[in-house]
Chains A and B, each alone.
Chain A
């Protein structure tokens, strides 16, 4: 089968999943439960994606933990996203130099 058809199906399904709720859901959600749920879901998604995957993200758990700790500390003090993200990378890289 042509790879182009596979790609078209992949892209089509993925787009529709995103587009249908985004484009056609207009009314305000009134259910307190649902509104609370939707408020919490982004934080829960990011947390579940990060832990434990972050510990395997550099291929070495020691450098990954060093980067994680740095990110946690800087994020606690409300530093900008790019600063926290770069500092985590640099910390992991520098820690790796000493191993």
Chain B
């Protein structure tokens, strides 16, 4: 049973791991350009497991910023994880004891959160470990390859891989949006706000724009379509 939850997590993590592999490839290249070694870049990926925060962190390092600046940048860009962690904390299985929570908290990323939140059943630690391990493997490997080898894949292939993660997001969002008008409205509102941010506030950092749009759309959804029943 435990084994199968882990295996299920691994399977669900394949698209994330593959997507991370291509995304972190770009991060690896960026990190080396900013003066870091391949080992340092990989260490950042292993310990942070986040895209926007890492890219911003490398900028701070390259610019010789202060540690306070580094902490504030990470806090601003990554504060969305607190919301996601809070949301996930509501659907943890009883087997999720404190040590498991301390360990699994490491792997709360946008994508892993998205897949976990979309699960109908309560989350088991082993399921999360499955997703997290394959995702982290992809993230760190991609970083190292990007940093060490530069352009490894033909440009046409790596370009096409760039859409993979987003394809997975679509696969997560569309089915519930098809079934529930409330979800559809929230999803469309978030997309519209996101386009508006991109057009009207191009200076806004990506991480901050996402949290702004998502919070606004979700507040709208909670006001217009409050949910009656308790989720399983």
Contact = CB atoms under 8 A, between A and B. Distances in A.
B is bound to A: yes
Interface in A1-17: 1, 3, 5-7, 9-11, 13-15, 17
A98 interface: no
B169 A50 contact: yes
Contact of B217 (A14, A21, A48, A76): A48
Contacts of A20: 82, 85
Contacts of B221: 36-37, 40, 44
Interface in A57-99: 57-60, 63-64, 67-68, 70-72, 74-76, 78-90, 92-93, 96-97
Contacts of A71: 163, 166-167, 170-171
Contact of A76 (B106, B178, B186): B178
A44 B105 contact: no
- SS class of chain A's interface: helix, strand, loop or mixed? helix
The residue in A1, A43, A75, A92 that gathers the most chain B C-beta atoms within 10 A of its C-beta is: A43
A40 B162 contact: no
Contacts of A48: 190-191, 193-194, 209-210, 213-214, 217
A78 to B, nearest CB: 5
Contacts of B11: 82
Interface string B112-154: 0111011000000000000000000000000000000000000
Contact of A39 (B71, B81, B98, B227): B227
Nearest to A28: B90
A62 to B, nearest CB: 12
Contacts of B157: 93
B14 interface: yes
Question: Which size class do A's interface residues fall under?
Answer: 35 or more
Contact of B159 (A10, A33, A36, A59): A59
Contact of A45 (B36, B86, B161, B210): B210
Contacts of A41: 83-84, 87, 214-215, 218
A13 B218 contact: no
A3 B38 CA distance: 13
B94 to A, nearest CB: 12
Contact of B101 (A23, A34, A35, A43): A23
A9 B218 contact: no
B163 A40 contact: no
A11 B48 contact: yes
Contacts of B74: 9-10, 13-14, 17
5 contacts: A17-B81, A33-B223, A44-B189, A48-B193, A52-B198
List 7 A-B pairs, minimum CB-CB distance, nearest first.
A88-B167, A93-B160, A84-B171, A11-B47, A75-B174, A36-B222, A22-B85
